[in-house]
Amino acid sequence: MPKQNTVFKDAYNRCLRLLVVGESLPSEPELCNLLGVSRTTVRSILSQMVEAGLIEWNKRSKAVQRSPVKADFFPEHETNSLSEVIERTFMKRILIGGGEPGMQINELELAREIGVGTTSVREFLIRFSRFGLIEKRPNSHWVLKGFTRQFAEELIDVREMFELKSAAAFVSLPAEDPAWVELEALRRAHVEVLADIDSRYLEFSELDDRLHRLIQQASGNRFIIDFYDIIAIVFHYHYQWNKANARERNGKAILEHLDYIEALKTRRPEAVEAACRLHLSSARLSLMQSLSTAA
């Protein structure tokens, strides 16, 4: 089985949502933009839709015949790319299941467990190794270094350096920079979630990601921006399986974010640094606490 056709399936599903009975789908190039795939894939989708009796397709006209029903969609798990599947399985294994430091990682075993070829696993591990959680012994196995307190501390130390630098750069952004607009949008989103915190506290993760990425972006430094990927993935998976005190933790963090955003808006470096430090040390504390309860 070369290449899964997950790109096709995912785009097909998304394309189904564009169908409006009586109307015609837009041109092929336009669909490419809408779906973010190449024309070849768009044409496969159109062909398939003809087969399914969803549209009549003749040159420029792509008349919609009926609305899609549930059975028209591909099952969601078939739309995940291989690397996503591998990543999830792997993270589950090392963050939950026995992820003792020093453990050996076996490419073949992992591949069999997930049901994919060794090449895919290998490439995943290589990509993943930049996160500092695993290490390769050449001509031999990988070693799991483990999501330990030590790891968390090293990660957060660098994060603090970078975030302070980025936040400082943020205040010198010109007034017309789109980041200011986005910052205001984010502030509103925070306020909205806060207003209904008891039922929406889980949305914090997304806000957190957006805010911090926006700030790192201001550094204009690819190493700083790329580093945030490590933080994001670690926080993402860790808190996904570790929801103790999430309501309380997230509520507090949203308030800190709002202070941080206000500080950025004043453009006063000292105010920004203070708010930034406050939030970061609180985030550090939460992570370390959740680590000790987990262990």
Partner DNA sequence: GGGCTGCACTTTATCGACAAAGAACACAAA
Partner DNA sequence: TTTGTGTTCTTTGTCGATAAAGTGCAGCCC
Where do contacts with its own copies occur on this chain (CB under 8 A)? 7, 119, 122-123, 126-127, 129-130, 132, 139, 145, 151, 154-155, 157-158, 161, 165, 220-224, 226-227, 230
- Which 221-260 residues touch DNA, going by CB under 7 A? none
223: left (phi over 0), alpha (psi -120 to 50) or beta: alpha
List the single partner that 109 binds among DNA, its own copies, none, CB under 5 to 8 Å by kind: DNA
- Nearest approach in angstroms of CB 94 to DNA is 15
* 199 binds, options DNA, its own copies, none, Cβ within 5 to 8 A by partner type: none
Residues 6+ apart with CB under 8 A from 21: 64, 65, 66, 67
Site for DNA in 54-73 (CB under 7 A): 59-60, 62
Choice from 139, 199, 292, 293 touching DNA (CB under 7 A) = 139
Q: Are 103 and 69 in contact (CB under 8 A)?
A: no
- 32 near 39, Cβ under 8 Å? yes
Q: Which of 20, 21, 23, 38 binds DNA (CB under 7 A)?
A: 38
* Residue ranges with strand state E in 75-153: 104-105, 134-136, 142-144
Does 266 participate in binding DNA (rule CB under 7 A)? no
For position 262 contacting DNA by CB under 7 A, the verdict is no
Distance in angstroms between the alpha carbons of the first and the last residue of the chain: 40
* Residue 94 contacts residue 88 (beta carbons within 8 Å): no
133 binds DNA (CB under 7 A): no
User: For residues 130 and 149, which CB has a smaller minimum distance to DNA in the complex?
Assistant: 130
* Least distance (Å) between residue 40 CB and its own copies: 11
Q: How far is the CB of 9 from its own copies (least distance, A)?
A: 14
b vs e for 79-111, b when ≥16 Cβ sit within 10 Å of the residue's Cβ?
bbebeebbbebbbebbbeeebeeebebebeebb
70 burial (CB, 10 Å; 0-12 / 13-18 / 19+) is: exposed
Cα 287 from Cα 149, distance rounded (Å): 9
For residue 29, state whether it binds DNA (rule: CB under 7 A). yes
Rounded Cα–Cα distance for residues 156 and 280 (Å): 8
Nearest residue (CB) to DNA, 24 versus 245 = 24
In the bound complex, what is the minimum distance in angstroms from residue 33's beta carbon to its own copies?
Answer: 15
Nearer to DNA, 113 or 262 (CB): 113
| Strand-pair partners of 61 | 58
Taking the C-alpha atoms of residue 283 and residue 156, their distance in angstroms, rounded to an integer, is: 9
Residue 223 contact partner, candidates its own copies, DNA, none, CB within 5 to 8 A by sort of partner:
its own copies
Closest CA to 13 of 58, 77, 62, 87: 77
Number of residues that bind DNA (CB under 7 A): 47
Q: Which does 273 bind (CB under 5 to 8 A by kind): its own copies, DNA, none?
A: none
Residues of this chain that bind DNA (CB under 7 A):
1-9, 26-30, 37-41, 43-44, 59-60, 62, 81-83, 105-109, 111, 116-120, 122-123, 136-142
